Structure 1
Amino acid sequence: MARNMTLLWGSGSPPCWRVMIALEEKKLQGYNSRLLSFDKEEHKSQEVFNINPRGQVPSFKHGDIIVNESYAACFYLESQFKSQGTKLIPDSKEEQALMYQRMFEGLTFYDKLTAVIFYEYFVPEGERLDSALKRHKDALTMELKLWEGYLFNMGSGSNLAGKSFTLADVVVFPTIGTLFRFGLSEKRYPKLGEYYALLRERPSIKASWPPHWLENTKGQDTLKDV
């Protein structure tokens, strides 16, 4: 069933990771998986442009159907394979509403994370301003406190929208995983740390863990003071 699916992806990319988790949860292993190198700019190759005119990953095909945006691909997989694997949209209207809320808040969360990381890694050193970096870090800190509060209110052992693992977890966990990879303090954010520790052992997440993180487990300290 998955043999007519193709995913072009990059290691450590949260949008790619979202789609990979969804594929694992829907029992769609065996798809055509192409790991591309960001360092070699393989995501700008003709192979990618043939699927994704933006020259970005993930680039995803199912037969002749192309769905490149990560949220759209996750929704598509759940819609097309409802009766297979994990049910990722709960029946309860309360849980469903919370799931959608957390999913789309997750886009803001991701943007605030990347604002910090991209500033430090892609803005030339001579063009960086301490005030700009501080502004980005302060915005991320405020966002982290929101999510720490959400998880505190849900109670220990909960997923983002309740007891069930849902699309909210599929799309937001890669952001949280990246936060801790870049040095976020589990002592400062214990509820996020607890959630991270719980989900990182989930089979779909272990199976799709960024390979270069496995090769080098140390990570970075970019976010140690956030």
Structure 2
Amino acid sequence: MAKDMTLMWFSGSPPCWRVMIALEEKNLQGYNQKLLSFEKGEHKSQEVLDINPRGQLPAFKHGNIILNESYAACLYLEEQFKSQGTRLIPVGAAEQALTYQRMFEGVTFTEKMANVIYYEWKFPEGERHDSALKRHREALTTELKLWEGYLEKLGAGSYLAGYNFSLADVLVFPCIAYVFRFGLSAKNYPRLAEYYGLLKERPSVKASWPKNWLESPQGQDKLKDV
């Protein structure tokens, strides 16, 4: 089954990483994959554009079926391979509801994180303003405190939607890993740090850990004061 799948991806990209974790959790190793370079503009190649006309990654195919949005690809993999590997959508109504809630809150988390980490990249020098960056940093701090509170409420050793690993973790963990990669203080966010440490040891996460992070374990300190 995995031999009918193709994934084009960037190393360290949260959207790409989500799909890779989902593939691991569903025991779909052995898929065709191609690591591309953002710096070289390879995501704008005709090969990618033929699958994803937006020229973005991931670009994912299962046979003739194309899914280029990471949330869509992960939901598809869970639905099509429901009985295989880890069940990622809980059966119980309460846990299922919380899983969906945290999944889609992850969209807001991703946006607020990107507004800070990629601020200089998103806006040309003449369009940057200290007041705007300050506002984005404050919004990210508020967001992080929400997630810290969610984990505090669930208790030690929990995942994002309870004591079972779920699709919420597949979708949101790459962003949590990202903020720690960019210097988030474990002292200021102990529950998030505990969760990060727990997920780092999960086989699917270890198997898909970004190659460039392995090569350069030391990240940046852009978020050290958030």
TM-score by length of 1: 0.98
- Look up the match of 1:113: 113
Deviation at 1:127, TM superposition (A): 3.4
Structure 1 counterpart SS, 2:118: helix
- Look up the match of 2:197: 197
Deviations 1:47-90 (A, max 9, x none): 11010011100000000000111000000000110111000011
Q: Give, as a single letter, the amino acid of the residue that structure 2 aligns with 1:40.
A: K
* 2-structure distance, mates of 1:140, 1:70: 22
- Look up the match of 1:53: 53
* 1-structure distance, mates of 2:17, 2:82: 20
Moved over 6 A (4+): none
* 2-structure distance, mates of 1:150, 1:67: 30
Q: Determine if the alignment matches structure 1 residue 167 to structure 2 residue 167.
A: yes
Structure 2 counterpart SS, 1:180: helix
Q: Give, as a single letter, the amino acid of the residue that structure 2 aligns with 1:21.
A: I
Q: Give, as a single letter, the amino acid of the residue that structure 1 aligns with 2:27.
A: K
* 2-structure distance, mates of 1:6, 1:200: 25
* 1-structure distance, mates of 2:129, 2:67: 38
Structure 2's unaligned 5+ residue stretches are: none
Q: Give, as a single letter, the amino acid of the residue that structure 1 aligns with 2:51.
A: I
* 1-structure distance, mates of 2:44, 2:174: 23
Deviation at 1:126, TM superposition (A): 4.2
* 2-structure distance, mates of 1:45, 1:203: 32
Q: Give, as a single letter, the amino acid of the residue that structure 2 aligns with 1:210.
A: P
Q: Give, as a single letter, the amino acid of the residue that structure 1 aligns with 2:115.
A: A
Deviations 1:84-140 (A, max 9, x none): 100001111110000000000000000000000111344334432111110100000
Structure 2 counterpart SS, 1:61: strand
Structure 1's unaligned 5+ residue stretches are: none
* 2-structure distance, mates of 1:6, 1:41: 20
Q: Determine if the alignment matches structure 1 residue 22 to structure 2 residue 22.
A: yes
Kindly tell me the number of residue pairs found equivalent between the two proteins: 226
Structure 2 counterpart SS, 1:53: coil
* 2-structure distance, mates of 1:125, 1:30: 43
* 2-structure distance, mates of 1:122, 1:112: 13
- Look up the match of 1:82: 82
Deviations 1:166-221 (A, max 9, x none): 00000000000000000000000000000000001100001111100000000001
* 1-structure distance, mates of 2:57, 2:6: 12
Structure 1 counterpart SS, 2:35: strand
120-129 vs 83-92, which moves further:
120-129
Structure 2 counterpart SS, 1:107: helix
Structure 2 counterpart SS, 1:38: coil
Q: CA RMSD in A?
A: 0.8
Structure 1 counterpart SS, 2:110: helix
What fraction of aligned residue pairs are identical, expressed as a percent?
72
What aligned pairs does 1:1-226 form with structure 2 within 5 A after superposition?
Answer: 1-226=1-226
